[in-house]
C-alpha cells in the first residue's frame, strides 16, 4: 500500500486540501503504523490472557483437615477443584509433613466453643488465592451457624428448609417502563474502557495538533501558507485532519482487535476441548460468559457506540482547539509547557473522578460533570452503561457542541495572531490581548 | 496604470507604531522597490497587502478593487520568514502549495517539472526538504511562489540566503517574469540589487514614507552638482568649484570629486579645468540609491 501526494485530488477546496495533507502525512508515519498494529495486539492480550490463564490454572488443589473439635466431620466435601482429606495426626507433625508433601494447605480446626469460635488456621506452602480462602471461611461459618441453630433446639429439617439459594438479578428500569437485565460489572468495564479511550485519544491527538502548529510556526512555512488560506481555515484543516487520523486508528484497532481475538480463540480452542465438554469448570465459565452477554444485552450497545463516537469527536474538537491555540503561542514544545497544565487539568480531574462517578452514577457530581463540556466526554461515557435519562444526554450533547464551537472560536482568535509572532515571551495576559485584537 | 493603490494605511502594535499614514501607488508591469532599514515597517505593509494582518486604518486597492482573500490567492508571496514542511518531499510540497493557490494537480506537476529543471533541482523531486541545503530550499520556496504564474509577485528579501551565483540566477528569473508582464513588489534593505531591478521605489523609515518615485527621477533630484574628474597637474582652487576629495591613481594621475558652486553648464566647468590641468576623464556624479538611502535615514540628517 503506497500513499502518495501524487494522488492529491484534482479538484478540492482549500480546507479539504489541508485536511488531506494533515491526514496523509500522519498516517504515512512509521509511528502511526506501529501504534496501529501494536494496539490491538495489546488489547487482545489484555482481554484474552486472563481468560486463558483462568482456564489453564492447575485444576486440583488439595487440603488436609485436622478437626480436633470433632464438629466439622464431613463438612469439607471434595469436588473437582478442591480435594479435602481428613487426617488425625498431631498438628506439629502434620505441619512438617506438609512441607514435604505436594498438598496445598492444612486446615486446622481446634477444639472450639460454639459461642466463641476461634483458633482456625490455614497453613499453606504458598499463598492461597482469595477465592479459596473465602470459600473455606464460608464453609466453616455456615456450618457453625447451623450447629448453633441446632443447639438452640431447632429441628434439623426446619433448618434445612431455611436453606435458600438465590442469585441476585439486577434489573434496570428505564423511562419507557421496559425492564432490562443489567450487570453493574459489565457496565463498569464498558464505562472505564470507553472513558479511558476518550481520555487517551483526546490527550494524544490534542498534543498532536499542538505539535503540528508548532512545527508550522517554527519552520516558518506558516506565512507561505497564509498567503493562500485564512488562519482559521488552516487551523480547522489541521484539527479535522488529525481527528480523521484518530478515527482511522480507532476503526483499524476495532477491525484488528476483532481479527486477533478470533485468531486467539481459534488457537485456544483445542486446549479448551481437551479439558472435556462435561467439565463443570468450563460449563460454569460458559455460564458466566452467557450471563455477561445477557447483561451486555441489557446495556444499549448501539447507544454506547454512537455516544462514544460523538464524545470522542466532540471532546477532541474541544481540546484540540485549545491545544492548537497553545501551539500558536509557542515556538517549541518547551514553550508550550507553561500552558499545558490548565488545559489538561480538567482531563485529569475527569479520569480521577471516574471512581466517584462509579460509586454514584446518578449523583449530583456525576450529573454536573457529565454536563460540563470539559469533563463530559469521559464522565458521560462512564454513566451511559448505567443508564442516563434522555434529557440529560441531550443537554450534555448540546453543551459539548456549544463547548467545542466556543473553544474553536476562542482558539481561532488566539491562533490568527499568535501564529505570526516570533520572539515574544508569551504569557496569559498576552494570550488575552491576542484574543481581544480586532479583526 | 497603477496596479496597487495604498491609501493612508496605519498600523500600531501594542503602543508601537509600525506604519503611519502610508500612501503609495505601484505601477503595473514593473518592479517596485519597497526600501527601508530593518524594522521600518516593510514587512508589516506587505502583510497588510496580503491580508495576513489587518490595518488599523486605510485601504488597499488592487486594480481599483478593494483587496479580498480571493484576489490574494492570485498573488505570489515570498515572505522574509520562510520555510517548508520538513518531512514532505519537494515535489509533493510544491503540488500541495500550488493546489492551495487553486492550480489543478496536472498543471502543477507540469510546471513543477519545468521549474525544477530550470533551477537545477530536477533530481530532488522525491527528496525530503530536510535534506536540502539552505540555498536549495530557498529555490524551492521561490518556485512555490511563482508556480501559479501570478500577475503580482511580492518578494520580501528574495536574495537572502543565496550565494552570488544563485542570487544572479534568481535575479534573471525575476527579470524574465517582469518581461512576461508580472508586477513585482520587491522589499529589501540591501540597496545593491535595487538599482538594476527597480523602476520605482518607496523608502520608508520608522513607520513613515520618506521618499518615493521612479529611480531615475529620485537620482536626478538628489544630484548635488558633483563631478568626478581624472587629471594630471595641480587643481587651481580659485576656480568656481570646491574640491571635495582627491585620491591618487597610478602615475601622476589623480581623481577628484568636485562640486560646482555656480549654476553653469558642464562645458563651462570643463573649460575652466582645462586651463589648469590635463583632463583625462569627466563624469557627473550620480548618487547611488544606497547613498540617498543613508543620507535619508541617518539620524544626523535630521
pLDDT of residue A419: 87
Where does the pLDDT of residue A148 fall: very low under 50, low under 70, confident under 90, or very high at 90 and above? confident
Q: Spell out the residues 6+ positions from residue B109 whose beta carbon is closer than 8 angstroms to its own.
A: A6, B91, B95
Q: What's the grid cell of residue B105?
A: 494537480
pLDDT band at A5 (very low <50, low <70, confident <90, very high): very low
Please provide the size of chain B in residues: 302
Q: What is the pLDDT of residue A199?
A: 92
Reduced to 3 states, what is the DSSP secondary structure of residue A198?
helix
pLDDT in tens, A107-141: 888 888 888 888 888 887 666 666 677 778 888 88
Indicate yes or no: CB of A219 within 8 angstroms of CB of B89: no
pLDDT category at A430 given cuts 50, 70, 90 is: confident
pLDDT at A10: 47
Going by the DSSP 8-state scheme, the letter that residue A168 receives in this structure is -
Residue ending a domain, choose from A119, A141, A166: A166
Q: Are residues A81 and A212 in the same domain?
A: no
| B15 contact A CB<8A | no
Q: How far apart are CA A320 and CA A243, in angstroms?
A: 9
Q: Do B85 and A25 touch (CB under 8 A)?
A: yes
Predicted local distance difference test score (pLDDT) of residue A20: 92
Instruction: State whether residue B33 sits within 8 Å of chain A by CB.
Output: no
Chain-chain contact of B77 with A10 (C-beta, under 8 angstroms) = no
Query: Are A148 and A191 contained in the same domain?
Result: no
The end-to-end CA distance of chain B, in Å, is 35
Tell the burial category of A68 from Cβ atoms under 10 Å away from its Cβ (0-12, 13-18, 19+).
middle
Q: Is the pLDDT of residue A238 over 50?
A: yes
* Residue finishing a domain among A166, A190, A218: A166
Across the range B110-123, mean pLDDT stands at 90
* pLDDT, average across residues A346-350: 92
Give the Cα separation of A34 and B244 in Å (integer). Answer: 76
- In this structure, the answer to whether residues A297 and A250 fall within a common structural domain is yes
Q: With respect to residue A173, please indicate whether it lies within any of the assigned structural domains.
A: no
Interface predicted TM-score (ipTM): 0.79
With respect to residue A177, please indicate whether it lies within any of the assigned structural domains.
Answer: no
Type and span of the H or E element at A371: none
Assess whether A409 and A265 both reside in one domain: yes
**B75 → chain A, closest CA residue:** A227
Position A380 scores a pLDDT of: 92
With CB atoms and an 8 Å threshold, state whether A223 touches B79.
yes
Better-scored residue on pLDDT, B263 or A280 = B263
Judged by a CB distance cut-off of 8 A, whether residue B148 touches chain A is: no
All three cell numbers of A153, joined, read 433446639
pLDDT for A182-235, tens place per residue? Answer: 456 677 888 888 898 899 889 999 999 999 999 998 888 888 888 888 889 999
Q: Compare A395 and A437 and report the one with higher pLDDT.
A: A395
Residues of B with Cβ-Cβ distance to A8 under 8 angstroms: 92, 95-96, 99, 105
Tell me: pLDDT of B15 over 80: no
Average pLDDT over residues B215-223: 85
Can you give the pLDDT at residue B120?
87
Q: Quick one: which H or E segment has residue A323?
A: helix A301-328
Residue in chain B nearest A14 by alpha carbon: B100
Share of chain A above pLDDT 70, in %: 78
CB contact under 8 A, B69 and A227: no
Distance, in angstroms, between B112 CA and closest chain A CA?
12
Give B229's strand partners: B256, B282
pLDDT for res A321: 94
Q: Does B95 touch chain A (CB under 8 A)?
A: yes
Hey, what's the cell of A131? 477465592
Mean per-residue pLDDT of chain B: 86
Task: Retrieve residue B81's grid coordinates.
Answer: 520568514
pLDDT averaged over every residue in chain A: 80
Whether residue A54 is predicted with pLDDT greater than 50 in this model: the reply is yes
CA torsion sign for A351, A352, A354, A355 is: positive
CB-based contact (8 Å) between A432 and chain B? no
A273-331 pLDDT per residue, tens: 454 444 444 444 455 555 555 555 567 778 888 999 999 999 999 999 999 999 999 98
Backbone dihedral region of B231: left (phi > 0), alpha (psi from -120 to 50 degrees) or beta? beta
Using 50, 70 and 90 to split pLDDT, how confident is the model at B29? confident
Whether A19 is covered by a domain: the verdict is: yes
- Residue A172, in any domain of the structure: no
**Residue keyed to cell 481561532:** A412
Q: Is residue A20 part of a domain?
A: yes
Is A5 close to B95, i.e. CB distance below 8 A? yes
Contact A8 B95 (CB under 8 A): yes
Q: Give the pLDDT score at A23.
A: 93
Does residue A409 register a pLDDT over 60? yes
- Mark out the alpha helices in B35-133 (DSSP H runs): 42-49, 69-72, 90-100, 105-118
| Shared domain check, A336 and A320 | yes
Domain hosting A283: range is: 5-53+182-436
Angle at A141 between CA A140 and CA A143, to 5 degrees: 65
B96 touches chain A (CB under 8 A): yes
CB proximity A31 to B under 8 Å: no
Over residues B89-95, the mean pLDDT reads: 91
CB contact under 8 A, B77 and A433: no
For residues B292 and B35, give the distance between their C-alpha atoms in angstroms, rounded to a whole number: 11
Rounded to whole angstroms, the Cα distance separating B27 from B178 reads 12
B87 touches chain A (CB under 8 A): yes
> Looking at the predicted structure, is the pLDDT value of residue B162 above 70?
yes
Do A46 and A81 sit in the same domain of this protein?
A: no
Kindly state whether A425 is in contact with chain B, defined as any CB-CB distance less than 8 angstroms.
Answer: no
Whole-angstrom Cα distance, residue A23 to residue A126? 54
B300 touches chain A (CB under 8 A): no
For β-strands B183-188 and B152-156, DSSP reports them as parallel
* Structural domain ending residue among the three candidates A166, A190, A220: A166
Chain-centroid distance, C-alpha B180: 19
Clarify whether residues A131 and A88 are in a common domain.
yes
Provide the 3-class DSSP secondary structure of residue A318. helix
Q: Is B42 on the interface with A (CB under 8 A)?
A: no
- Quote the pLDDT of residue A283: 47
Determine whether the interchain pair B79/A224 forms a contact, defined as Cβ–Cβ distance below 8 Å.
Answer: yes
Same domain flag for A336 and A394 = yes
pLDDT score recorded for residue A369: 92
Residues A299 and A375 in one domain: yes
pLDDT band at B302 (very low <50, low <70, confident <90, very high): very low
Cβ B52–A9 below 8 Å, yes or no?
A: no
pLDDT of A144 higher than 80: yes
Query: Does the distance separating the beta carbons of A219 and B84 come in below 8 Å?
Result: yes
The whole-number pLDDT of residue B87 equals 84
- B155 beta partners: B78, B186
Closest residue, chain A, to B107 (C-alpha): A10
Both A134 and A191 in a single domain? no
- In degrees and rounded to multiples of 5, residue B80 shows phi and psi of -70, -45
Closest chain B residue to the Cα of A29, Cα to Cα: B87
Q: Quick one: what percent of chain A has pLDDT higher than 90? A: 25
**Does position A74 have pLDDT exceeding 60, yes or no?**
yes
CB atoms B85 and A215 under 8 Å: yes
Q: What pLDDT is recorded for position A177?
A: 47
What is the domain-level CATH number for residue A94?
A: 3.40.190.10
Cβ contact, residue pair B99, A223, below 8 Å? no
What's this model's pTM, rounded to 2 decimal places?
A: 0.73
Residue A153 and residue A229 in one domain: no
Phi/psi of residue A77, nearest 5 degrees:
-110, 130
In-domain check, residue A162: yes
Look at residues A379, A362, A358, A355 and name the one whose alpha carbon lies nearest to residue A307: A379
**Does residue A191 sit in the same domain as residue A214?**
yes
Contacts of B109 in chain A (CB under 8 A): 6
Within 13 Å and on the Cβ side, how many CA atoms surround A391? 1
First to last CA, chain A: 45
Which pLDDT value is given to residue A129? 64
In chain A, the number of structural domains is 2
**For the stretch A300-334, what's the b/e string if a residue is b when 16 or more beta carbons lie within 10 angstroms of its beta carbon?**
beeebeebbebbbbbbbbbbbbbbbbbbbbbbeee
Query: Would you call B11 an interface residue with chain A, using a CB distance cutoff of 8 Å?
Result: no
Amino acid at each position: 500500500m503506497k500513499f502518495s501526494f501524487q494522488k492529491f485530488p484534482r479538484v478540492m477546496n482549500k480546507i479539504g486540501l489541508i485536511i488531506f495533507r494533515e491526514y496523509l502525512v500522519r498516517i504515512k508515519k512509521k509511528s502511526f503504523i506501529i501504534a496501529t498494529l501494536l494496539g490491538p495486539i495489546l488489547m487482545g492480550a489484555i482481554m484474552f490472557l486472563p481468560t486463558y490463564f483462568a482456564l489453564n490454572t492447575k485444576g486440583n488443589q488439595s487440603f488436609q483437615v485436622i478437626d480436633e473439635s470433632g464438629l466439622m466431620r464431613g463438612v469439607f466435601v471434595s469436588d473437582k477443584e478442591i480435594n479435602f482429606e481428613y487426617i488425625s495426626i498431631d498438628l506439629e507433625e502434620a505441619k512438617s509433613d506438609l512441607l514435604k508433601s505436594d498438598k496445598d494447605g492444612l486446615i486446622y480446626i481446634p477444639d472450639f466453643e460454639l459461642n466463641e469460635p476461634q483458633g482456625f488456621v490455614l497453613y499453606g506452602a504458598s499463598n492461597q488465592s482469595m477465592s479459596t480462602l473465602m470459600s473455606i471461611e464460608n464453609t466453616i461459618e455456615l456450618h457453625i451457624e447451623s450447629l448453633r441453630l441446632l443447639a438452640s433446639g431447632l429441628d434439623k429439617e426446619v433448618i434445612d428448609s431455611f436453606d435458600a439459594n438465590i442469585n441476585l438479578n439486577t434489573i434496570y428500569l428505564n423511562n419507557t417502563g421496559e425492564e432490562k437485565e443489567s450487570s453493574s460489572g459489565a457496565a463498569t468495564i464498558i464505562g472505564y474502557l470507553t472513558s479511558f479511550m476518550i481520555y487517551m485519544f483526546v490527550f494524544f491527538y490534542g498534543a498532536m495538533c499542538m505539535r503540528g502548529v508548532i512545527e508550522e510556526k517554527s519552520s516558518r512555512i506558516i506565512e507561505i501558507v497564509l498567503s493562500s488560506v485564512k488562519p482559521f481555515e488552516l487551523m480547522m484543516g489541521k484539527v479535522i485532519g488529525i481527528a480523521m487520523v484518530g478515527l482511522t486508528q480507532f476503526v483499524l484497532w476495532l477491525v484488528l482487535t476483532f481479527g486477533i481475538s478470533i485468531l486467539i480463540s481459534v488457537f485456544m480452542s483445542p486446549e479448551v476441548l481437551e479439558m472435556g465438554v462435561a467439565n463443570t469448570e468450563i460449563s460454569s465459565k460458559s455460564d458466566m460468559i452467557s450471563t455477561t452477554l445477557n447483561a451486555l444485552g441489557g446495556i444499549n450497545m448501539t447507544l454506547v457506540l454512537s455516544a462514544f463516537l460523538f464524545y470522542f469527536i466532540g471532546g477532541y474538537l474541544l481540546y484540540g482547539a485549545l491545544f492548537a491555540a497553545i501551539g500558536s503561542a509557542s515556538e517549541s514544545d518547551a514553550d508550550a509547557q507553561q500552558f499545558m497544565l490548565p488545559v489538561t487539568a480538567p482531563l485529569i480531574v475527569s479520569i480521577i473522578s471516574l471512581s466517584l462517578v462509579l460509586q454514584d452514577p446518578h449523583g449530583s457530581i456525576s450529573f454536573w460533570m457529565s454536563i460540563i463540556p470539559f469533563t463530559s466526554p469521559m464522565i458521560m461515557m462512564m454513566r451511559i452503561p448505567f443508564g442516563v435519562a434522555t434529557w440529560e444526554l441531550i443537554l450534555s450533547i448540546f453543551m459539548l457542541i456549544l463547548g467545542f464551537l466556543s473553544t474553536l472560536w476562542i482558539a481561532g482568535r488566539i491562533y490568527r495572531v499568535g501564529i505570526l509572532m516570533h520572539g515574544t515571551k508569551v504569557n496569559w495576559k498576552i494570550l488575552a490581548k491576542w484574543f481581544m485584537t480586532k479583526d | 496604470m497603477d496596479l496597487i493603490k495604498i491609501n493612508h494605511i496605519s498600523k500600531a502594535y501594542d503602543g508601537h507604531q509600525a506604519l503611519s499614514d502610508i500612501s503609495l501607488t505601484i505601477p503595473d508591469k514593473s518592479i517596485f522597490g519597497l526600501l527601508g532599514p530593518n524594522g521600518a515597517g516593510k514587512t508589516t505593509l506587505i502583510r497588510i497587502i496580503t491580508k495576513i494582518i489587518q490595518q488599523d486604518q486605510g485601504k488597499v486597492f488592487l486594480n481599483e478593487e478593494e483587496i479580498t482573500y480571493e484576489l490574494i490567492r492570485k498573488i505570489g508571496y515570498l515572505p522574509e520568514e520562510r520555510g517548508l514542511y520538513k518531512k514532505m518531499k519537494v515535489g509533493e510540497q510544491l503540488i500541495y502549495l500550488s493546489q492551495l493557490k487553486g492550480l489543478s494537480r496536472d498543471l502543477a506537476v507540469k510546471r513543477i517539472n519545468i521549474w525544477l529543471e530550470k533551477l537545477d533541482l530536477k533530481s530532488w523531486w522525491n527528496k525530503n526538504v530536510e535534506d536540502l541545503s539552505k540555498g536549495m530550499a530557498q529555490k524551492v520556496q521561490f518556485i512555490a511562489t511563482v508556480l501559479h504564474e501570478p500577475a503580482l509577485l511580492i518578494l520580501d528579501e528574495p536574495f537572502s540566503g543565496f550565494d552570488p551565483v544563485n542570487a544572479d540566477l534568481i535575479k534573471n528569473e525575476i527579470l524574465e517574469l517582469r518581461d512576461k508582464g508580472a508586477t513585482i513588489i520587491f522589499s529589501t534593505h540591501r540597496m545593491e540589487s535595487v538599482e538594476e531591478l527597480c523602476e520605482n521605489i518607496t523608502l520608508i523609515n520608522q513607520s513613515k514614507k520618506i521618499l518615493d518615485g521612479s529611480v531615475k527621477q529620485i537620482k536626478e533630484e538628489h544630484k548635488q552638482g558633483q563631478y568626478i574628474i581624472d587629471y594630471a597637474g595641480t587643481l587651481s582652487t580659485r576656480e568656481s568649484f570646491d574640491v571635495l576629495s582627491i585620491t591618487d591613481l597610478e602615475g601622476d594621475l589623480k581623481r577628484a570629486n568636485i562640486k560646482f558652486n555656480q549654476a553653469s553648464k558642464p562645458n563651462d566647468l570643463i573649460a575652466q579645468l582645462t586651463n589648469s590641468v590635463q583632463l583625462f576623464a569627466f563624469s557627473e556624479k550620480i548618487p547611488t540609491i544606497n547613498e540617498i538611502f543613508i543620507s535619508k535615514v541617518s539620524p544626523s540628517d535630521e
